[in-house]
Structure 1
């Protein structure tokens, strides 16, 4: 798989390989970036740590892994041919099908020939004198490129729990973020799970079906609602394919960058019985219908708490043991301030005699031992341990290697107090560096593939502007960055998203600066900001001319 790209990128001497662009990451953002740049006739290489395309879906192969966005949203819109040739089997696709889709696109567009897999970037440094990015890898590659596009995604650096003794555990350890490619048999085994976010919830629903004894170590319970996944029959598929244009237009015009439910009625605009009837209907329909039923659930605390009570009541109706049910009911933070999870029979698992909830607020973990997990009350013996403890989100991927801008400015220094950029796309002091689905855009708050496509299209349009006007470099000003971050801060003050200890705010990583740095105004409004910049002739950006063309 790597032979073709290795042969083409092997220089005749020990000199660096000169390119138009380097793309870091082979998830959906990086794949589209490679395609879009090639369409412009650019010489480009993609660098990916995994063995193939797919990004997070290449690594996340854990039991039950499934996207919580409908496949009609979580798929590319740029190619009508791809839309018509690919057929989804379910409303919410599982990891194997999503990875198969990524491979289908890669095959269709012949993307792999421009990717270097099983390769990690070790440094990317701007050479101001020569106006190139010097990119080096762990395989000894040295590329020089006019542009560097970071398509590393908001979730790509796994985070282990900060628990003493983890390295001493003598049993098998499995990480949700880097699951083995072969099937794991848990039958008859004593298995523990640490982490009850979205991945942990999905793991419980599958492992709980086959495990010997299952211990779910829960620190902070998540709000999760029934997915109600459905198979798509031939008529469903025909309707989707016939109406892709209107579906995509609706997605681009929405706050979420997709067509999942999003109501515009305020919670207290209706009498209590009507509100309850709407919530019951949303619960029955499943998916994110509860979140989309009312428009003000993240700005009105009273409305938020009533919806939280509705979901807590549902948990109590499913889980038979009152103590377990109470421990599973999230409290102390607003519903939807943490990632809204979807499940299939999650709470039902805790009615099984071999599935045990361990409430770490009541009985905290003291250490992990060679034979199990030591709680305050005693040790739980285990044969295997599953870690579903998430990622160093938003900033972790770009701070995992050296990124040096003008005058050797280190991105890790720039971001030591949190992500700081312009539109989540560019950085002052880092010319010709672009981010796809960056930390200061809508990031995790909207459909990532919609963001990927919008970002890449905007970046390539800017490249066209640069070339058409005899320019060489582009970057935002520090003042422009500050203006954008002020917009983000102003919007963040109006939402309750920052009132939970989550990876959204950096609260899951010890020592990381807390703060909500994502754009919370919605995908459509974000797109308007980006388009306004382009319509102004990129007035907020600073360009340097191409000296080779000056006076020509």
Structure 2
């Protein structure tokens, strides 16, 4: 390093090789690879009192994975995979959190982690090519590399209804549930939201609550999960071909570990199509129903309509009250994150469960005694917000990022988020956003490993060539965004409002936020960039001249 380093307020920054933000799946993986494999001096920070990221906070009743756990885990350590024993296909939150704590202990990561500490700002000092990172604990750090694993689904989206502060009962959000838990026996509970968290918490709370009122904005296409033990034969197959299994996971579209269909829905007869849907309905799994049944549900209207018609018939056959069944029946495309939950539609057959369609009967205000809709006041003891997340960019933009020439990341992303490869942003050298915008729309842990391997290779490249920084050019970034747009617009997902395109947060740019061609194609893009020594990237040397 040469030149001045920022010593605002007279505090000399602690010099490090890298700062990692977050200790969920991405952050722990990044810390392990950078510190234990590359030998870098690394500190990781998390605002939670424990490691686990989203899985620390998401401890609401019924919280569990909706991804089969044989692919919702790390693959980099064969012994870790073999010795950790999952209890079922879709483990509950405490088991996933225990796994991540075990990983932190197994790889001695805790000594490099500072908890209950929020990163407030990260400013790139062009004189010395270092990120000056400031925490709410008063620490100042100067790091060559900044790796952010702040969570795709972790920044809470909490609505503000008129009168909310007057409610005399309890209010909870599924993404910030009290660690001590809470009980619902004898209580009148209202749940607002029916997304991934909503369907789980509704199904779990209903048997305990005195009465449950569900406030639904959008009806959901949900399929059964079929909770149960992992098939021993499947585990034996993985054991016999561990490397091959993970190569197939990484080479697939979804990264979920099941065989994806290559057959279009229109290629089979009506009877065969119905049989395929029925078979996967009985097997369970939201992503399986969308991607293992037929190859084109996410891109073709005929296939999509065939899937939705099947689910609609299941809703009609399950829900006994025809008015409630109609309210629960979606009318839009099957083009959101696919949901799965055992017993969700059956829950509405309970005498103590009431459904309110807030499009027809909107929420006007929260009162001291409950919620007032256009149809009247509903008295409640507890309100649960299952309103999801400010996804993809929410937590990143909570940190004040300043890049080259004083550019604010929030300004750079004002009209839409822009990255190259979902990992780097023009004007923000040596800053890597794991599972950032314009990254793959896939299962997270395998994608995390693909991304951190690329980040590690990029760092090795800088070390080998004597260069200080790497960042994409503005032109390269624009090309990647255009590629993501072209691929995304060839699917049905942009045609439906959801967190996938930012439509769930008022005022947020509604746009394509993912690379939708699949994990295998994405990994190939990373591999090509690395093998060709990073075309379209700008490098600087120690004298700060472009290389």
Fold match, TM over 0.5? Answer: yes
CA-CA distance at 1:235 after TM superposition: 6.6
Structure 2 counterpart of 1:94: 92
Q: Do structure 1's residue 451 and structure 2's residue 450 form an aligned pair?
A: no
Instruction: Output the CA distance in 1 between the equivalents of 2:154 and 2:416.
Output: 17
CA-CA distance at 1:422 after TM superposition: 0.6
Instruction: Output the CA distance in 2 between the equivalents of 1:428 and 1:183.
Output: 43
Number of residue equivalences:
534
Distance 1:122 1:506, change over 3 A: same
Structure 1 residue ranges (4+ consecutive) displaced by more than 3 angstroms after TM superposition: 232-243, 547-550
Structure 2 counterpart of 1:482: 478
CA-CA distance at 1:83 after TM superposition: 1.0
Please give the per-residue CA displacement for 1:320-364, whole angstroms capped at 9, x wherever unaligned. Answer: 000000100111x211x1111000101111111001111112211
CA-CA distance at 1:236 after TM superposition: 6.1
Please give the per-residue CA displacement for 1:3-54, whole angstroms capped at 9, x wherever unaligned. Answer: xxxxxxxxxx942100000001111100011110112111000010111111
Instruction: Output the CA distance in 2 between the equivalents of 1:23 and 1:201.
Output: 33
CA-CA distance at 1:166 after TM superposition: 1.8
Aligned mate of 1:494, from 490, 493, 516: 490
Structure 2 counterpart of 1:319: 319
Question: Does the 8 Å CA contact 1:70/1:260 hold for their aligned counterparts?
Answer: no
| 1:93-492 aligned within 5 A | 93-232=91-230, 237=235, 239-287=237-285, 288-291=287-290, 292-331=292-331, 333-335=332-334, 337-442=335-440, 445-492=441-488
Instruction: Output the CA distance in 2 between the equivalents of 1:61 and 1:542.
Output: 43
CA-CA distance at 1:458 after TM superposition: 0.2
Distance 1:236 1:279, change over 3 A: closer
Instruction: Output the CA distance in 2 between the equivalents of 1:263 and 1:480.
Output: 33
Q: Which secondary structure state, in structure 2, belongs to the residue aligned with residue 471 of structure 1?
A: coil
> Structure 2 stretches of 5 or more lacking a match?
1-9
Q: Which secondary structure state, in structure 2, belongs to the residue aligned with residue 399 of structure 1?
A: helix
CA-CA distance at 1:525 after TM superposition: 0.3
Q: Aligned-pair RMSD on alpha carbons?
A: 1.6
Instruction: Output the CA distance in 2 between the equivalents of 1:413 and 1:549.
Output: 26
CA-CA distance at 1:289 after TM superposition: 3.0
CA-CA distance at 1:239 after TM superposition: 5.0
Question: Does the 8 Å CA contact 1:470/1:549 hold for their aligned counterparts?
Answer: no
Please give the per-residue CA displacement for 1:204-249, whole angstroms capped at 9, x wherever unaligned. Answer: 1110111101000101111100001112477765554444322211
Q: Which secondary structure state, in structure 1, belongs to the residue aligned with residue 514 of structure 2?
A: coil
Please give the per-residue CA displacement for 1:43-72, whole angstroms capped at 9, x wherever unaligned. Answer: 000010111111100000001101111001
Instruction: Output the CA distance in 2 between the equivalents of 1:483 and 1:232.
Output: 42
Question: Which shifted more, 274-283 or 254-263?
Answer: 254-263
Instruction: Output the CA distance in 2 between the equivalents of 1:137 and 1:96.
Output: 29
Instruction: Output the CA distance in 2 between the equivalents of 1:487 and 1:239.
Output: 37
Please give the per-residue CA displacement for 1:426-450, whole angstroms capped at 9, x wherever unaligned. Answer: 11111111111111111xx201011
Distance 1:531 1:186, change over 3 A: same
Structure 2 counterpart of 1:35: 32
Instruction: Output the CA distance in 2 between the equivalents of 1:456 and 1:447.
Output: 15
Instruction: Output the CA distance in 1 between the equivalents of 2:442 and 2:288.
Output: 15
Instruction: Output the CA distance in 1 between the equivalents of 2:144 and 2:443.
Output: 29
Instruction: Output the CA distance in 2 between the equivalents of 1:326 and 1:261.
Output: 34
If the length of structure 2 is used for normalisation, what is the TM-score? 0.95
> Structure 1 stretches of 5 or more lacking a match?
1-12
Instruction: Output the CA distance in 2 between the equivalents of 1:322 and 1:399.
Output: 44
Aligned mate of 2:515, from 519, 536, 551: 519
Q: Which secondary structure state, in structure 2, belongs to the residue aligned with residue 488 of structure 1?
A: helix
Q: Do structure 1's residue 507 and structure 2's residue 507 form an aligned pair?
A: no
Question: Does the 8 Å CA contact 2:46/2:118 hold for their aligned counterparts?
Answer: yes
Question: Does the 8 Å CA contact 2:266/2:302 hold for their aligned counterparts?
Answer: no
Structure 1 counterpart of 2:3: none
Question: Does the 8 Å CA contact 1:157/1:391 hold for their aligned counterparts?
Answer: yes
CA-CA distance at 1:261 after TM superposition: 4.1
Structure 2 counterpart of 1:7: none
Question: Does the 8 Å CA contact 1:87/1:237 hold for their aligned counterparts?
Answer: no
Instruction: Output the CA distance in 2 between the equivalents of 1:262 and 1:326.
Output: 32
Distance 1:233 1:511, change over 3 A: closer
Question: Does the 8 Å CA contact 1:250/1:258 hold for their aligned counterparts?
Answer: no
Aligned mate of 2:20, from 18, 23, 32: 23
Instruction: Output the CA distance in 2 between the equivalents of 1:548 and 1:498.
Output: 41
Instruction: Output the CA distance in 1 between the equivalents of 2:252 and 2:402.
Output: 36
Question: Does the 8 Å CA contact 2:392/2:513 hold for their aligned counterparts?
Answer: no
Instruction: Output the CA distance in 2 between the equivalents of 1:215 and 1:342.
Output: 21
Instruction: Output the CA distance in 2 between the equivalents of 1:221 and 1:28.
Output: 31
